[in-house]
Amino acid sequence: MASQPMSRKTRNTLELVVMYAIIAVMFVIIIYPLLWAFGMSLNPSSNLYGASIIPENWSLVHYEWLFTNPRSNYLLWYKNTLIVSLSVATVGTLLVSFTAYAFSRYRFRGRTYGLYAFLLLQMFPVLMAMVALYILLNTIGLLDSLLGLIIIYIGGNIPMNAFLVKGYFDTLPKELDESAKMDGAGHFRIFFQILLPLAKPILAVVALFNFMNPFMDFILPRIILRSPENYTLALGLFNFVNDQFSNNFTRFAAGAILIAIPIATVYLFLQKYLISGLSAGATKG
């Protein structure tokens, strides 16, 4: 006797179960390292193997050490990272918006080759330019400085982000520009008062990524920065587990957990623009 075909309701139920199972597995993969790091940060000892997700004798001694111990440069590293992140997010997003606006709204000689150059630059990893960046910063006297690090971050983020924002500007009707010109508006007024407010969703995405990158990046600060007073958080925290007599993974975990505070704050501040960007992207053609 032939088996009866699976009903549509049963098939939908199975698909829903599989979908929730995949989400649950991904959630465990993502949340487990975070819980483990948080548990390590509450462990009063420095023993990595004795740490657990829920310590028996938990303590905030590592957090207290980061903020109060005279030998800790954690607050200085935090300040350096915030300076770099805010500068890159603000200046970088503004320069990207100018660049994207020019490539989206104007036709000039070399425009096509400029777009090709942006695509070409995205194909090569930043590691290929590390030696050249080191020599460049050393030549202009910006090696081992936050300003040099900021310039490299801003310049490196422009090609990819400008191409992304240009695509969003292309979806905005040019009739808006023409109507504003008929009313006597100039190029800067059109850009700042009409197009820039409409592009808030994509600019929020660019600003968030630009802000997060200095908190997460280790390789570039490792090459450029030499003085401990100029370290960013990623580079400074590395010393907690790298120095010969400072293999303190629990203190490292405490410092790493606190990195999430400014990133989460910026994300919550920009989330309404991120959500509107997703909904706008689904309707604009």
Residue 267 domain-assigned (yes or no): yes
Q: Considering its fold, how many domains does the chain have in total? A: 2
Domain of residue 13 covers 8-63
Token pair belonging to 129:
């330019």
* 263 falls within a domain: yes
118: in domain: yes
pLDDT of residue 120: 82
CB 215 within 8 A of CB 262: yes
Identify whether residues 139 and 218 lie together within a single domain.
Answer: yes
Is 107 contained in some domain? yes
- Residue 159 neighbours by CB distance under 10 Å: 19
What gap in Å lies between CA 266 and CA 199, rounded to an integer? 18
- Assigned domain for 99 exists: yes
**pTM given for the model:** 0.84
Q: Collect all residues with Cβ–Cβ distance below 8 Å to 27 and sequence separation of at least 6.
A: none
Same domain, 172 and 36: no
Residue at which a domain ends, from 16, 36, 63: 63
Which of the listed residues 26, 43, 63 is the one where a domain comes to its end? 63
Residues 6+ apart with CB under 8 A from 266: 89, 207, 208, 211, 212
Instruction: Please give the pLDDT value at position 221.
Output: 93
CA 191 vs CA 119, 205, 209: distances in Å: 25, 19, 23
Can you read off the two tokens belonging to residue 12?
């939908």
259 class by beta-carbon count within 10 Å (0-12 exposed, 13-18 middle, 19+ buried): middle
What are the average pLDDT values for consecutive 10-residue runs of the chain, which has 285 residues? 63 87 91 85 72 75 88 92 96 94 88 84 77 90 94 90 88 86 85 88 90 92 92 89 68 89 87 66 42
Are residue 123 and residue 237 in the same domain, yes or no? yes
Q: Are both 46 and 106 inside the same structural domain?
A: no
Is residue 198 one of the residues assigned to a domain?
A: yes
Question: Which pLDDT score is estimated for 214?
Answer: 93
CA distance 123 to 187: 33
Task: Give me the pLDDT at residue 274, please.
Answer: 74
What would the two tokens of residue 21 be? 């199972």
